[in-house]
């Protein structure tokens, strides 16, 4: 039974978790601490890398101490240290990996570099004893991916975004509508009072024979709609119509990918998966198609260290660790199209 300390600093959340492995692949989250930077970046309308990395440096030490206190664990009792090594902002990734490597080196413990996207992909199964074969939809601020999952560490990329990720589109459309950053929760809130059929926004690439996404055309359609209005914009109707278009694209592509791969389970993760209408639409579509549906617990949807710790724990159980001289990779991929995991540290 191993206990790991994990750090997540890929973008604008500073997070630390202490996780203990139980029998099988089950895990117990002993502590999960997150410091959000939303207030820092809101005035800029988006994440400023220099501000993000500085805040990580200021907050990480106290978060580590709080997580250890919450877990009732001394640092000397930690069996391995993990951190997100990519993808993400280079200056932010360096803060977390440097801290984890330093503690691993000082205590002569293993270090495990974790792919941020693998953390998201595995997050729906933190409380489950295994990672079953499934079709995974990762939908976040920076990524929209469909992954064919044969099991932990065995992934095949089916499709991804060719331009804006879904979360990025939410943020940009939110800014067009004069809503605060981040735009996703604000658009969901505004859409509750709107008509999703008020505007016929495009469903880009929905009928194509591939599984890639494109949201730039949808974002541009919103821009042109706002430009052509003669009066005050009907924010609720535009938000509802935009959100409905995104949902139909995500659900349609996901169900087609599940059918193409023969999977009987669909899982969704990432910050955008917190969107309640999206969760409901996916759950209904999967039920109608006779598919099992698993969504990440809301606690593990936005960036957090518990998901990084869980991914690291699975590697640690197999004796797969990372060398201390392993570098970060801001553009790290999760999987190729040949079924290989592209971030697979050697034993």
State the pLDDT at residue 130: 85
C-alpha separations of 347 from 80, 149, 334 in Å: 14, 22, 19
Hey, what domains does the chain have and what are their CATH numbers? 3-124+300-317 (3.30.420.40), 132-296 (3.30.420.40)
State the pLDDT at residue 215: 96
pLDDT grade, residue 207 (50/70/90)? confident
Distance CA 196, CA 334 (A): 34
Residues of the chain with pLDDT > 70, as a percent, come to 96
Contacts of 140 (CB under 8 A, 6+ apart): 120, 165, 166, 167, 270, 271, 272
pLDDT tens, position by position, 117-146:
999 999 999 988 789 999 999 999 889 999
pLDDT grade, residue 341 (50/70/90)? low
Distance CA 97, CA 7 (A): 8
Average confidence (pLDDT) over 45-61 = 92
Residue 9 has pLDDT above 80, yes or no: yes
pLDDT grade, residue 346 (50/70/90)? very low
What's this model's pTM, rounded to 2 decimal places?
Answer: 0.93
pLDDT grade, residue 94 (50/70/90)? very high
State the pLDDT at residue 338: 54
Distance CA 132, CA 2 (A): 22
**Average per-residue pLDDT in the chain?**
94
């Amino acid at each position: 039974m191993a206990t790991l300390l994990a750090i997540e600093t890929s973008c604008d959340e500073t997070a630390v978790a202490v996780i203990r492995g139980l029998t099988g692949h089950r895990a117990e989250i002993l502590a999960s601490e997150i410091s959000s930077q939303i207030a820092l970046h809101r005035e800029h309308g988006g994440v400023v890398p220099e501000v993000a990395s500085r805040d990580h440096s200021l907050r990480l030490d106290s978060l580590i101490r709080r997580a250890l206190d919450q877990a009732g664990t001394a640092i000397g009792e930690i069996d391995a240290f993990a951190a997100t090594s990519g993808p993400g902002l280079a200056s932010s990734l360096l803060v977390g990996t440097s801290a984890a490597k330093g503690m691993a080196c000082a205590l002569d413990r293993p270090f495990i570099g974790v792919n941020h996207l693998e953390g998201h992909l595995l997050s729906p199964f933190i409380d489950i004893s295994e990672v079953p074969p499934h079709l995974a939809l990762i939908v976040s601020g920076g990524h929209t991916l469909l992954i064919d999952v044969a099991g932990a560490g065995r992934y095949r990329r089916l499709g991804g975004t060719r331009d804006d990720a879904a979360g990025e589109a939410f943020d940009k459309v939110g800014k067009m509508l004069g809503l605060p950053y981040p735009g996703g929760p604000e658009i969901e809130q505004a859409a509750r009072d709107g008509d999703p059929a008020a505007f016929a926004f495009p469903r880009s690439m929905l009928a194509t024979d591939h599984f890639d996404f494109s949201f730039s055309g949808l974002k541009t359609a919103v821009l042109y709609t706002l430009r052509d209005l003669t009066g005050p914009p009907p924010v609720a109707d535009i938000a509802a119509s935009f959100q409905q278009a995104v949902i139909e694209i995500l659900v349609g592509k996901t169900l087609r990918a599940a059918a193409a791969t023969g999977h009987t389970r669909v899982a969704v993760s990432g910050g955008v998966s917190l969107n309640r209408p999206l969760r409901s639409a996916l759950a209904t579509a999967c039920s109608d198609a006779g598919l099992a549906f698993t969504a990440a617990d809301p606690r593990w949807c936005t960036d957090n260290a518990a998901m990084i710790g869980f991914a690291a724990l699975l590697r640690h159980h197999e004796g797969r660790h990372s060398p201390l001289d392993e570098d970060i990779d801001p553009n790290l991929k999760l999987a190729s199209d040949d079924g290989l995991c592209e971030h697979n540290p050697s034993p």
